[in-house]
Amino acid sequence: MKIIRKHIKELIALVLVLSFVSSLALFAQTVPNTQFGGMNRPDKDIESLESEKSDIEKTLEETKAQYKQEVKNYSKKEQELANIQFRIMDQIKLIEQTELDIENKQIEVSNKKLEVNKAKADVDNHIITLRKRLRIMYKFGKTGYLQIILKSDNLVNALTRVDRIRFLADYDKKMLNRLQFLQSELERKQKALEGEKEELEELKEDQTQQKEALQISYDQALVKKKEIANNMEALQRQKKQLEVESAKITETIRQMKIKRDYVGGQMAWPLDYNHRYITSYFGKRKAPTPGATTNHGAIDIAAPTGSNIYAALGGEVIYSGYFGSYGEMVLIDHGGGIHTLYAHASQRLVKEGQMVNRGDVVSRVGTTGRSTGPHLHFEVRENGTRVDPLNYVVQP
């Protein structure tokens, strides 16, 4: 009795799985229109949705291309900023060097001023000395020279004294001329130094203006870089939004394909044709093992372990896993409430959510779960109710 109850619970669980999957598919069709951009997609046909998806994917590719280009622009702008920054630093060094040159030139000008002032003082002092000497010579005149001759011991001494006086006067004149020339040269050099200093100050002003222009270029490039970064973020958001939209349309198309009316037609034999022996038909039977049902809801087909099990019809795999007495099991939704079930497999080759075509290998024969030997337990369900599979497939 416990075994029977356990088997009944397993069947109920399977029905719940099918009901849950059907509910999910129904939910996908009845979600609010706002989930799909406010468009009434359930009223559209698959071709229209696929066209819309194609347009979205085209826009997505364009967005990706724009993003790729913006990445390049961003990289170029970063390089431009780095170059401008280096140029600003070089310009600052030039300005600092020019300021140092101006300071040195100012020191030279100051030193030259001191030399000029000293030369002026020497000239002034020599003029004073010369004036005194000339004043004395003027006082002596001819009489003075005569007195010098008379006071001298001899004529030679007298003439020597007169020559000395004249020599000193001539020397003073020459020295004065030399000092005045030296003063003039010093003043010329001072003026030249001041001119050089003015040129350096003008150079510094020009260098400062260039630095300010570079700073403006840097600030503008920085603003452009931020604009590019904002564009990149916007494109990334658009890219994600388009990917989400495309995925939603893909899911809608998938659900519509699943939920479209069953197209009918004969299902393919789920095994190779040389494995066609049915060991247990649909309906009343003798329980093969203690606790097994006597109302068989499938057909059992004998086959060696590892034999290929094929999808009887195209559809979506909605379950692929181990399920109680069914063992390793695959359940496929073919639309229109029609499902096929493949149980007791030794190996499953498909995953949940995978789309398969008629004749695809979905698993391999085994004897997992409650089984008396290697075989395929093959069910067909209409809206969750098991029906005779031979209504859909013909035994080879």
CATH code: domain of residue 295? 2.70.70.10
- Any domain includes 345: yes
User: Are residues 274 and 358 located together in one domain of the fold?
Assistant: yes
- Any domain includes 269: yes
- Any domain includes 245: no
- Any domain includes 379: yes
Domain boundary among 198, 218, 236: 236
User: Are residues 15 and 102 located together in one domain of the fold?
Assistant: no
Domain housing 335: 2-30+262-391
Tens digits of residue pLDDT in 7-45: 444 544 454 444 444 433 333 333 333 332 333 333 346
Lowest mean pLDDT among 75-84, 178-187, 311-320, 348-357: 178-187
Residue 143, pLDDT > 70, answer no
User: Are residues 17 and 83 located together in one domain of the fold?
Assistant: no
59 CB-near residues (< 8 Å, 6+ apart): 242
Residue 178, pLDDT > 50, answer yes
- Any domain includes 14: yes
Return the half-sphere exposure (C-beta side, CA atoms, 13 A cut-off) of residue 307.
21
Across 42-46, 50-54, 231-235, the highest mean pLDDT is recorded for 231-235
User: Are residues 164 and 222 located together in one domain of the fold?
Assistant: yes
User: Are residues 13 and 76 located together in one domain of the fold?
Assistant: no
Its pTM stands at 0.42
- How many structural domains is the chain composed of? 2
User: Are residues 72 and 113 located together in one domain of the fold?
Assistant: yes
- Any domain includes 252: no
- Any domain includes 39: no
Rounded Cα–Cα distance for residues 343 and 367 (Å): 9
User: Are residues 116 and 151 located together in one domain of the fold?
Assistant: yes
Which class for 116: exposed (0-12), middle (13-18), buried (19 or more C-beta within 10 A)?
buried
- Any domain includes 257: no
Backbone dihedral region for residue 385 (phi beyond 0: left; psi -120 to 50: alpha; all else: beta):
beta
User: Are residues 268 and 378 located together in one domain of the fold?
Assistant: yes
Between 140 and 357, whose confidence is greater? 357
Three-state DSSP class for residue 394? coil
User: Are residues 231 and 307 located together in one domain of the fold?
Assistant: no
Rounded average pLDDT over 82-90: 87
2-30 vs 155-259: helix axis angle to the nearest 10? 120
- CATH number, domain containing residue 87: 1.10.287.1490
User: Are residues 269 and 232 located together in one domain of the fold?
Assistant: no
